[in-house]
C-alpha cells in the first residue's frame, strides 16, 4: 500500500491509518508537494519519521515503477479528483484506490463524495458517518464501497475515558475555518484570558507562522492576541501558544475547549473533560452538529468558570467510539485486492474535468501564480457571505 498525503491533517490520518494495518503489509507514506504541504517539523510531528516529498510528476513515475496493489489517496478533495485520473492508476491492472477524510465528517458532504467518485473505497470513522456517506454514495458514486475504521489516533479504550485528567492547563484547540468572524475569535481569547490561575490557558495551534495548514487561516489567533495585547484589552502572560502534537498538549490538560475540532474526540479518549462551544451557534457551517446530544456542548461562561463536560455514553457508540470489532477496512481492502488479482476491478467514473484542472494548476503552477488566484477566490467567497446575510 502506497499512501499519498497533501496536507498536515491528512498526513497525520494517513500515517496513523497505515500504522493500524497488518504488520505483514508493505506500507509506504509519501507527501505530495503542494501549496498546503506541511513543513518538515509538522511532518515529523504527524508521523514521527521523515517523509519523502514528491512532485506530481515524481509521484506518477513512482506509481509507474512500483505498481502498488493499493493506493491510499489521503488528500483534499480536488487533489483526490486529480490523482484518481492519473494514467498510472487507470486501466485493467490498476491499483485499488482507497480514500477518506481525516476527522469529523458529519454532516456528510455531497461535494466530498463527488470529488472521490473515482475511487473504489471510502474510509469513514463512525456508524453515523457510514450511514450518511453510504446514502450519498448510492446516487453520486455507485459502486463506491464505504468501510468503517475507527479514527486511528483513538484507542477507544473505555477505561481511559473515565481517567482523571492529569494536567492543569485549559487547552483550546484552534481551527482555521471556524469560527470565521473576528469578533467571535476575540471572544474566545478574552475568555481564555480570564481562566484561573492566570497563564493556565493554552491555545494549541496547527501551524506556526509561515507554516501551512489543510485550510487557510485568515485570522490567526496569535495575531489577534497580539492586537488585544497592544490595545490593553488583555493582560500579558495569561494565554500561551503551543504547536506540536495534540496528544502532548492533552497530557498537560485539565480540560479541552474547541468549536468543533477532532481534538474533542482525542480528549474524550484520554479522559479529559470537554467544552464544545455553542456560543456561535450549532450548524453545519461550524461542523459541530455531531455534538448535539453528546453532553459536551457548553459556552464561554463554562470556560471562565472552569467547568467542562464528559460525554453521554449513549452518544459515544454511534459517534467514533464503536467497538473495534466492527471495523471492516482490512476485510474490504483484501476483497478488492482479490478482485484486482483477478482483473475484475470495475472501471471507475472520474470526477469532472474542471475539478481536475483546478487541482492540477495548484500542483503544477508556481506559487507566485497560484497565490493571487487564491486571494481573489477568498475575496469572492467573503463577498458572497456578506450578500447572503
**pLDDT tens digits for 25-40?**
999 999 999 888 998 9
Domain contains 331:
yes
> Cell numbers 452518544 correspond to what residue?
315
Sign of CA dihedral 129, 131, 135, 140: positive
**pLDDT tens digits for 83-100?**
999 999 998 899 999 999
Residues 164-193 have a mean pLDDT of: 95
- Say yes or no: 207 and 71 in one domain: no
pLDDT at 368 over 90: no
- Say yes or no: 215 and 254 in one domain: yes
State the pLDDT confidence band at 46, using cuts at 50, 70 and 90: confident
**pLDDT tens digits for 230-249?**
999 999 999 999 988 899 99
State the pLDDT confidence band at 186, using cuts at 50, 70 and 90: very high
Report pTM. Answer: 0.87
- One DSSP character per residue, 31-70 reads EE--TTPPPHHHHHHHHSS--EEE-HHHHHHHHHHH--SE
Domain contains 262:
yes
- Say yes or no: 63 and 146 in one domain: yes
Confidence at residue 78, expressed as pLDDT on a 0 to 100 scale:
93
Query: Phi then psi for 363, rounded to 5 degrees?
Result: -90, -25
On whether the CB atoms of residues 15 and 47 are closer than 8 A, the answer is yes
Confidence at residue 160, expressed as pLDDT on a 0 to 100 scale:
79
Cα–Cα distance measured from residue 244 to residue 340, given in angstroms and rounded to the nearest whole number: 40
Full residue range of the structural domain in which residue 87 is found:
2-154+323-382
- Say yes or no: 103 and 129 in one domain: yes
**pLDDT tens digits for 314-344?**
999 999 999 999 999 999 999 999 999 998 9
Give the end of a domain, one of 273, 293, 316: 316
**pLDDT tens digits for 134-165?**
999 999 999 999 999 999 989 998 887 877 88
C-alpha distance across the termini of the chain, in Å? 47
- Say yes or no: 140 and 168 in one domain: no
Cα–Cα distance measured from residue 348 to residue 361, given in angstroms and rounded to the nearest whole number: 23
pLDDT at 257 over 90: yes
Cα–Cα distance measured from residue 326 to residue 256, given in angstroms and rounded to the nearest whole number: 28
On whether the CB atoms of residues 29 and 51 are closer than 8 A, the answer is yes
- Say yes or no: 172 and 303 in one domain: yes
Domain contains 389:
no
Domain contains 229:
yes
Residues 275-298 have a mean pLDDT of: 97
Least confident of 6-10, 102-106, 372-376: 372-376
Domain of 248, CATH number, reads 3.40.50
Confidence at residue 352, expressed as pLDDT on a 0 to 100 scale:
61
pLDDT > 90 in the chain, percent = 77
Give the end of a domain, one of 290, 316, 342: 316
Domain of 341, CATH number, reads 3.40.50.11190
Give the end of a domain, one of 266, 296, 316: 316
Confidence at residue 45, expressed as pLDDT on a 0 to 100 scale:
83
Total domains, the chain? 2
Amino acid at each position: 500500500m502506497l499512501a499519498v498525503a497533501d496536507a498536515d491533517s491528512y498526513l497525520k490520518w494517513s500515517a496513523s491509518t497505515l500504522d493500524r494495518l497488518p504488520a505483514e503489509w508493505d506500507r509506504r507514506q509519501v507527501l505530495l508537494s503542494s501549496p498546503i504541504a506541511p513543513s518538515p517539523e509538522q511532518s515529523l510531528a504527524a508521523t514521527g519519521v521523515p517523509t519523502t516529498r514528491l512532485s506530481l510528476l515524481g509521484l506518477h513515475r513512482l506509481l509507474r515503477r512500483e505498481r502498488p496493489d493499493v493506493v491510499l489517496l489521503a488528500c483534499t478533495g480536488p487533489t483526490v479528483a486529480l490523482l484518481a485520473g492519473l494514467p498510472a492508476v487507470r486501466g485493467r491492472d490498476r491499483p485499488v484506490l482507497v480514500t477518506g477524510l481525516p476527522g469529523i465528517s458529519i454532516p456528510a458532504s455531497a461535494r466530498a463524495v463527488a470529488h472521490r467518485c473515482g475511487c473504489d473505497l471510502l474510509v469513514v470513522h463512525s456508524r453515523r458517518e457510514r450511514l450518511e456517506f453510504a446514502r450519498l454514495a448510492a446516487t453520486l458514486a455507485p459502486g463506491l464501497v464505504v468501510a468503517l475504521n475507527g479514527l486511528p489516533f483513538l484507542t477507544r479504550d473505555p477505561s481511559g475515558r473515565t481517567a482523571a485528567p492529569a494536567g492543569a492547563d485549559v487547552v483550546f484547540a484552534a481551527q482555521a475555518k471556524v469560527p470565521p468572524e473576528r469578533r467571535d475569535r476575540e471572544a474566545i481569547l478574552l475568555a481564555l484570558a480570564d481562566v484561573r490561575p492566570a497563564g493556565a490557558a493554552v491555545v494549541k495551534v496547527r501551524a506556526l507562522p509561515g507554516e501551512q495548514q489543510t485550510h487557510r487561516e485568515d485570522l490567526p489567533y496569535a495575531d489577534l492576541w497580539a492586537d488585544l495585547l497592544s490595545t490593553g484589552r488583555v493582560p500579558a502572560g495569561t494565554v500561551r501558544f503551543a504547536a506540536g502534537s495534540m496528544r502532548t498538549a492533552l497530557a498537560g490538560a485539565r480540560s479541552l475547549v474547541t468549536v468543533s475540532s477532532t481534538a474533542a474526540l482525542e480528549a474524550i479518549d484520554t479522559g479529559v473533560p470537554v467544552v464544545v462551544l455553542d456560543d456561535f451557534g450549532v450548524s453545519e457551517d461550524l461542523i459541530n452538529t455531531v455534538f448535539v446530544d453528546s453532553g459536551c456542548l457548553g459556552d464561554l461562561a463554562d470556560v471562565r468558570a472552569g467547568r467542562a463536560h464528559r460525554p453521554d455514553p449513549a452518544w459515544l457508540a454511534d459517534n467514533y467510539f464503536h467497538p473495534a470489532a466492527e471495523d471492516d477496512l482490512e476485510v474490504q481492502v483484501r476483497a478488492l485486492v482479490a478482485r484486482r488479482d483477478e482483473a475484475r476491478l470495475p472501471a471507475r467514473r472520474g470526477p469532472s474535468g474542471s475539478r481536475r484542472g483546478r487541482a492540477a494548476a495548484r500542483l503544477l503552477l508556481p506559487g507566485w501564480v497560484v497565490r493571487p488566484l487564491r486571494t481573489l477566490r477568498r475575496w469572492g467567497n467573503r463577498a458572497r457571505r456578506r450578500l447572503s446575510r
